């Protein structure tokens, strides 16, 4: 949450930074601001609300300058007002920040006692004041920033300018993401919270590590460790993402584009992870030696939101196919419940962004208790990927829409591969079944394409129901988490109240809600639960509930189907139904939100990566 972008070089710095902020707006959109050097002074422009407000503000001024730092905010400390918008300035020290300064109240009190006056309610402002205080010691800007940051507890990715040092820009990181790129011309640098903001300029990037500070000047970039003040050499990494991937490409919303990218994204996740005759999964990239795989007696999965739903589906695969006990926890709950974890536990953290604070904290707790950590993650070199002992990347490409779609289906794909790999290692499935499941997985992108071709049917379905204010989503077994995910998608982007339930649980309470005002979305694939699910949705019909039925060819009872609004789904191996059934639910939520006129890609109050606990 919160995005920062900084630029130093000969391009129009304001356009570079605004362009980068546009790519990061998914991280927060409560306010936006920039600071730039212009005619030897630092000028600041800030605006409440989305970036468009700031763009409008600067458009007529034809602002240009360098260096420039910018920020898009997801409010934590202080309401979304202009005074609380970044950058924050104290006597020419200007800061943009993503993260939380945990000891800001204590520092603020100390600074106020020393005569400092604050102009915002934010935690960030203490940083500029601390730097000013340190500047009084020796006037050395870089040394002052370093000393100031040593006083700060919490998380930050930040960029700092100082009016008396127009040729210098500083960035630093502690537990919030920060990536940098060198421009083609000497003395040109780009800094951002996330890779998409840089892709237009470079695919060769440098990741700053926690506790490091980068000082950019016309003559080069120097990275130092904050604690030891030692110089660090940083490797340059190539990013496989294409700049076009971070554009809308003709779609009305990123979310729609990302839904339609799923057949390709799922194929990409499988790519390179099968042996030559496609009879076995090969995940050597995780890097665990064979003996280590033998040690695990149980798996624990920690994740949040949609990624947690992926974990819930994976539990079915890992237990049924690989026969290994698996627990799934919401990351923010895990660390506080004194979990039973030891050196025979493999803890899997699932996260699109790899920056979710709750998930990172849960994994750190698991490590403290001796577990081995595996990341299932989309963003290369994210905090999660760096923290874990092994990484399984999901290869979804950049996901910009705040509502996660292709990240989910690729997480499922990666986790399914992991289950097959474990099943082979543990000999819990025979080779023929593994080969057959791999074949089914390889056919899945075609089945996804067929669903996407029928998107107009889901748009029409959304038209029939978008006026209702409460929805129930029901699924059984491995499709129960898909009911949760369908409900989450609807809530997030259309602001309609929706709940997911195991279909068999409806009679234990939620059935009281059902009447003609309650659309009930039922997932009824042709699997072992079908008969039971049919009984469950009969209970809905009997109470005049409005039934939206997603089912496969197994359901050939015209009377039952006729009472419902029916979306037929092709038959695949029942293990893979979650990957298929989630897609029409994503589209139903999408079209409902469009009809309601909400901001689909940037729904209210949400941020894509939640970097606060
Ligand atoms: C999904 O649509 C949500 N926006 C949200 O629940 C998300 O999945 C959650 O915050 C976890 O994010 P992560 O995968 O980046 O860790």
Block residue for tokens 């602001």: 495
CA of 378 to the centre of ligand 1 (A): 12
Q: Residues 224-240: what's their mean pLDDT? A: 94
* Per-residue pLDDT, 558: 58
**Average pLDDT value over all residues in the chain:** 93
In this predicted structure, the answer to whether residue 373 has a pLDDT above a threshold of 90 is: yes
| Contact by Cβ (8 Å): 416, 575 | yes
Pocket of ligand 1 (CB under 6 A): 304-307, 351-353, 356, 359, 402-404, 492, 606, 609-610
* Per-residue pLDDT, 71: 96
CA of 48 to the centre of ligand 1 (A): 25
DSSP at 528: T
**514/350: higher pLDDT:** 350
Atom of ligand 1 nearest to the CA of 492: 2
Q: What does the block give as tokens for 129?
A: 């004041």
Confidence class of residue 343 from pLDDT cuts 50, 70 and 90?
A: very high
| Contact by Cβ (8 Å): 343, 370 | yes
In this predicted structure, the answer to whether residue 489 has a pLDDT above a threshold of 70 is: yes
In this predicted structure, the answer to whether residue 556 has a pLDDT above a threshold of 80 is: no
CA of 305 to the centre of ligand 1 (A): 5
Atom of ligand 1 nearest to the CA of 608: 4
Angle ∠(221,222,223) on CA atoms, nearest 5: 125
In this predicted structure, the answer to whether residue 563 has a pLDDT above a threshold of 80 is: no
Burial class (CB in 10 A: 0-12, 13-18, 19+), 200: middle
CA of 536 to the centre of ligand 1 (A): 30
In this predicted structure, the answer to whether residue 243 has a pLDDT above a threshold of 80 is: no
E strand or H helix at 213? strand 212-217
* Residue nearest (by alpha carbon) to ligand 1 atom 9: 305
Cα separation of 113 and 116, whole Å?
7
* Residue nearest (by alpha carbon) to ligand 1 atom 6: 305
Q: Residues 413-432: what's their mean pLDDT? A: 96
| Contact by Cβ (8 Å): 303, 360 | no
In this predicted structure, the answer to whether residue 7 has a pLDDT above a threshold of 70 is: yes
Confidence class of residue 239 from pLDDT cuts 50, 70 and 90?
A: confident
Confidence class of residue 297 from pLDDT cuts 50, 70 and 90?
A: very high
* Per-residue pLDDT, 553: 80
In this predicted structure, the answer to whether residue 37 has a pLDDT above a threshold of 70 is: yes
Atom of ligand 1 nearest to the CA of 306: 8
For a ligand 1 pocket test, name from 26, 259, 307 the mutation site with the most ligand atoms within 8 angstroms of its C-beta: 307
Contacts of 583 (CB under 8 A, 6+ apart): 259, 262, 409, 448, 451, 452
Atom of ligand 1 nearest to the CA of 353: 15
Cα separation of 186 and 67, whole Å?
14
Confidence class of residue 538 from pLDDT cuts 50, 70 and 90?
A: confident
DSSP at 48: E
Distances (CA, A) of 608 to 108, 296, 541: 30, 33, 37
CA-closest candidate to residue 581, choices 517, 511, 527, 528 = 527
| Contact by Cβ (8 Å): 58, 34 | yes
CA of 187 to the centre of ligand 1 (A): 37
Q: What does the block give as tokens for 290?
A: 């064979």
Distances (CA, A) of 55 to 23, 47, 59, 604: 14, 9, 6, 20
Q: What does the block give as tokens for 579?
A: 């990957």
Contacts of 417 (CB under 8 A, 6+ apart): 269, 270, 273, 281, 283, 392, 441
- For residue 43, how many other CB atoms are within 10 A of its CB? 16
Helix (H), strand (E) counts: the chain:
19, 25
For the chain, percent of residues with pLDDT exceeding 70:
99
Q: Residues 525-546: what's their mean pLDDT? A: 85
């Amino acid at each position: 949450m919160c995005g920062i972008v900084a630029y130093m070089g000969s391009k129009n710095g304001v356009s570079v930074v605004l362009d980068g902020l546009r790519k990061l707006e998914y991280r927060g959109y409560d306010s936006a601001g920039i600071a730039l050097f212009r005619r030897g002074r630092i000028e600041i422009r800030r605006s409440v609300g989305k970036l468009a407000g700031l763009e409008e503000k600067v458009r007529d001024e034809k602002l240009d300058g360098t260096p420039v730092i910018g920020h898009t905010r997801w409010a934590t400390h202080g309401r979304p007002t202009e005074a609380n918008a970044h950058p924050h300035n104290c006597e020419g020290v200007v800061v943009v920040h993503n993260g939380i300064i945990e000891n800001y109240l204590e520092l603020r009190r100390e600074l106020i006692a020393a005569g400092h006056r604050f102009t915002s309610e934010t935690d960030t402002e203490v940083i500029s004041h601390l730097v000013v205080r340190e500047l009084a010691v020796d006037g050395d800007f870089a040394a002052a920033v370093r000393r100031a940051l040593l006083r700060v507890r919490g998380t930050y990715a930040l960029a700092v300018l100082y009016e008396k040092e127009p040729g210098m820009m500083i960035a630093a990181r502690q537990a919030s993401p920060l990536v940098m790129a060198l421009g083609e011309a000497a003395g040109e640098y780009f800094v951002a919270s996330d890779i998409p903001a840089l892709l237009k300029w470079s695919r060769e990037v440098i990741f700053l590590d926690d506790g490091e500070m980068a000082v950019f000047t016309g003559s080069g970039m120097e990275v130092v460790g904050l604690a030891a003040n030692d110089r660090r050499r940083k490797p340059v990494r190539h990013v496989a993402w294409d700049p076009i991937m971070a554009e809308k490409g003709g779609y009305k919303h990123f979310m729609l584009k990302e839904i339609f990218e799923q057949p390709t994204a799922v194929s990409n996740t499988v790519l390179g992870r099968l042996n030559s005759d496609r009879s076995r999964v090969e995940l050597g990239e995780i890097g665990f030696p064979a003996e280590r795989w033998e040690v695990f007696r149980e798996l624990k999965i920690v994740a949040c939101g949609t990624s947690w739903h992926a974990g819930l589906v994976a539990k079915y695969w890992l237990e049924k196919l690989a026969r290994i006990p698996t627990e799934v926890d919401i990351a923010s709950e895990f660390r506080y419940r004194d979990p039973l974890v030891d050196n025979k536990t493999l803890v899997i953290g699932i996260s699109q962004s790899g920056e979710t604070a709750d998930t990172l904290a849960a994994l750190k707790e698991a490590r403290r208790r001796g577990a081995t950590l595996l990341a299932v993650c989309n963003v290369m070199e994210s905090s999660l990927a760096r923290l874990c002992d092994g990484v399984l990347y999901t290869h979804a490409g950049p996901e910009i829409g705040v509502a996660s779609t292709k990240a989910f289906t690729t997480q499922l794909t990666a986790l399914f591969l992991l289950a097959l790999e474990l099943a082979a290692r543990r000999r819990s499935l025979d080779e023929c079944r593994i080969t057959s499941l791999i074949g089914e997985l390889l056919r899945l992108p075609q089945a996804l394409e067929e669903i996407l071709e029928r998107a107009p049917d889901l748009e029409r379905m959304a038209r029939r129901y978008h006026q209702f204010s409460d929805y129930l989503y029901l699924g059984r077994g491995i499709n129960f988490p898909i009911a949760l995910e369908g409900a989450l998608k609807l809530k997030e982007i259309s602001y309609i109240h929706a709940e997911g339930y195991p279909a068999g649980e409806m009679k234990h309470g939620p059935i009281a809600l059902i009447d003609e005002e309650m659309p009930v979305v039922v997932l009824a694939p042709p699997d072992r639960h079908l008969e039971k699910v049919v009984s469950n949705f009969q209970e809905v019909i009997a109470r005049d509930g409005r039934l939206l039925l997603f089912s496969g060819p197994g359901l050939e009872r015209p009377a039952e189907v006729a009472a419902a609004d029916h979306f037929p789904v092709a038959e695949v191996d029942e293990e893979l139904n979650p990957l298929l059934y989630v897609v029409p639910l994503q589209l139903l939520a999408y079209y409902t939100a469009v009809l309601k006129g909400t901001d689909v890609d940037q729904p209210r109050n949400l941020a894509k990566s939640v970097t606060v606990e």
